[in-house]
Amino acid sequence: MGSSKVSACSSPVSQKSFLVKVAYIVFFSFFTRRGRGRFSLLLFGPLLYVSAMLICAGPFPFSTTPSLPPGSLYRSSEAFWKLWPAMQSDNGSSIELTAVWKYHKSPAGWKLCANQTSKPFYQKRVKNRILQSSELSPANGYLIVEANGGLNQQRSSICNAVAVAGLLNAILVVPELNKHSIWKDSSNFRDIYNEDHFMNTLQGHVRVVKRLPDILMERFDYNISNIPNVKVNAWSPVRYYLEAISPLLHETGVIRISPFANRLAQKVPPDIQFLRCLANYEALTFSTAIMSLTNKLIDRMKEKSSKSHGKYVSVHLRFEEDMVAFSCCQYDGGEAEKLEMEFAREIGWKGKFNREGRMIQPEMNRVNGKCPLTPLEVGMMLRGMGFDNNTSIYMASGKIYQAERNLAPLLQMFPLLQTKETLATPEELAPFEGYSSRMAALDYTVCLYSEVFVTSHGGNFPHFLMGHRRYMYNGHAMTIKPDKRKLVVLLDDPGIRWETFKANMTLMLHKSDHTGFAIRKPKGSIYGHPFPECMCRHG
């Protein structure tokens, strides 16, 4: 970590000086009084030794080790076993899934705009008149982008590409998906998304083609990588595209931008923002192969939720090994876990966490709500909110870190838990194995149609999903977003009572319900908050 060695004797100078004076006074008093002799010297020896130790270590009354704030340490397992008997006996007072949400039943709110996607929206002013989308002027050239990242970061790139193509009046070539990132997914656009639906939905707004014309491909020896790559800074404003990129497009007839994630500012004119909305919420639908299996998974999930009238809870659980390592949080795995996480960080991020001056503070990460919730913590939260052991849960996740040990308490609380691996047959999942984005697309869609969605950590997956659920469910996210700072403090309290924990979880559920209608902040993302640009107000 680059820290220098510190002497074991490192108490403050002022405290040392004080004790030196005390020792001197004691020493002087012993040897200036008559009648002490050898007996006095023998008595003084131990006293001198203790004084020296106090000088080195620091005096007890003046120096105490600062105590860690509540919630710093992972004690959730202890809290679970303490509350488990009360949790079991309280199983009868369960919440009905049909009565979880209160606020979305209001007649007034945000709903889909009538015939929104059928209206020609892209307009261009020429000679003081407005040309409708059916009269779009000749294109200025072709735009090629490479979407990088995981499933939802790529989704963001694609939506931005549609917006930039509209801004520049360019013809968009169906985006390439990066195949060399840490996700190691070799899927093409058509493997994940319905390519024809994408092009047809954008027709009249942005022109999209599957490939460059042969005349252009011939110019670059039929190799896209030969097209000069334009470097664009993240969150570039509209003005930059109009002043720097548009002239280049006119000059060359084709431009390539790679990578393209987050290359357009959040704040853009309403007509350009609409193109993002149209791309994200209408044009991007998953491929036939993905939707075919997804529909089966949803039907099977509903069948297994007969006790709750076909409704189920979905949980996005971010407790994979790489996420635990990246978070720099500590749980209850002891020294073995610590060494394992250090190794995982070194393999995945090659020294990033060992740079000089960087300090890992797992206790503060936990207090500040930056640690992924464990399966046990998610289960306790849901039981505290009133979901009993008859609740059907769909768990969306990658490979859980030490799954056998960490999933055991969650299964103990919710025995009806399902995953895509338990709902689908090995033969059905085989075409998706080894493709992280396709597997994530399965999870995404099953979560989208759940009655309740629970996010346990941040990231693009829950961000996009919350926005999509707002778009589908009259502006309400229908999502439980835990207050992790409050939760860790409660679980760190050795005297916590079930009634207290349950009351706090009920308040947390009500807060998630109330904030489900949160309106987008000025610098916020339309992917998490689709209105007002993507939705209309009714009532």
* In-domain check, residue 10: no
| Residues 403, 502 within the same domain | yes
Residue 430's domain comprises 75-99+288-458+479-515
| Residues 309, 389 within the same domain | yes
| Residues 393, 422 within the same domain | yes
* In-domain check, residue 222: yes
Torsion of CA 117, 128, 246, 267, to 10 degrees: -50
- How many Cβ atoms sit within 10 Å of the Cβ of residue 94? 16
Instruction: Among 267, 282, 297, identify where a domain stops.
Output: 282
What distance in Å separates the CA atoms of residue 465 and residue 232, rounded to the nearest whole number?
28
According to DSSP, the β-strands at 171-173 and 208-209 are parallel
What distance in Å separates the CA atoms of residue 44 and residue 35, rounded to the nearest whole number?
14
List pLDDT tens digits, range 469-481: 999 988 889 999 9
| Residues 306, 276 within the same domain | no
The pLDDT value given to residue 52 = 52
| Residues 322, 270 within the same domain | no
The pLDDT value given to residue 3 = 38
Ranges assigned E (strand) in 262-398? 313-316, 393-396
Strand-pair partners of 260: none
Q: Are 264 and 160 in contact (CB under 8 A)?
A: yes
List pLDDT tens digits, range 255-284: 999 989 899 999 999 999 999 999 999 999
* In-domain check, residue 423: yes
* In-domain check, residue 331: yes
* Residue ranges in the chain modelled with pLDDT below 50: 1-43, 47, 50, 54-56, 58-65, 115-135
The pLDDT value given to residue 138 = 82
Output the DSSP codes for 73-128: S--HHHHHHHHHHHHHHTTTSPPPGGGS-SGGG-SSEEEPPTTTTTS----EEETT
Q: What token pair was written down for 518? A: 């949160």
* In-domain check, residue 186: yes
* In-domain check, residue 416: yes
Which residues, 6 or more positions from 256, have their beta carbon under 8 angstroms from its beta carbon? 144, 145, 146, 224, 227, 228, 229, 230
Exposure string of 470-487, with b = 16+ CB inside 10 Å and e = fewer, is bbbbbbbbbbbbbbbebb
What distance in Å separates the CA atoms of residue 305 and residue 297, rounded to the nearest whole number?
12
| Residues 150, 230 within the same domain | yes
CATH number of the domain encompassing residue 228: 3.40.50.11340
Instruction: Among 225, 260, 282, identify where a domain stops.
Output: 282
Q: Are 56 and 8 in contact (CB under 8 A)?
A: yes
* In-domain check, residue 343: yes
| Residues 293, 372 within the same domain | yes
| Residues 224, 84 within the same domain | no
Place of tokens 């853009």: 268
| Residues 294, 396 within the same domain | yes
Three-state secondary-structure class, residue 440 = helix
Ranges assigned E (strand) in 351-459? 393-396, 417-418, 452-455
Burial (CB < 10 A; 0-12, 13-18, 19+), residue 389, is: middle
The pLDDT value given to residue 119 = 36
| Residues 314, 183 within the same domain | no
Reference 315, options 495, 166, 454; nearest CA is: 454
The pLDDT value given to residue 523 = 77
What distance in Å separates the CA atoms of residue 368 and residue 122, rounded to the nearest whole number?
44
The pLDDT value given to residue 538 = 64
Reference 252, options 288, 226, 290; nearest CA is: 226
Longest dimension (CA), the chain: 116
* In-domain check, residue 8: no
| Residues 272, 311 within the same domain | no
The pLDDT value given to residue 500 = 97
- As for how many domains the chain has, the answer is 2
What distance in Å separates the CA atoms of residue 215 and residue 261, rounded to the nearest whole number?
29
The pLDDT value given to residue 103 = 78
Three-state secondary-structure class, residue 256 = strand
Q: What token pair was written down for 295? A: 């529909």
| Residues 293, 430 within the same domain | yes
Q: Are 117 and 231 in contact (CB under 8 A)?
A: no
Q: Are 349 and 355 in contact (CB under 8 A)?
A: no
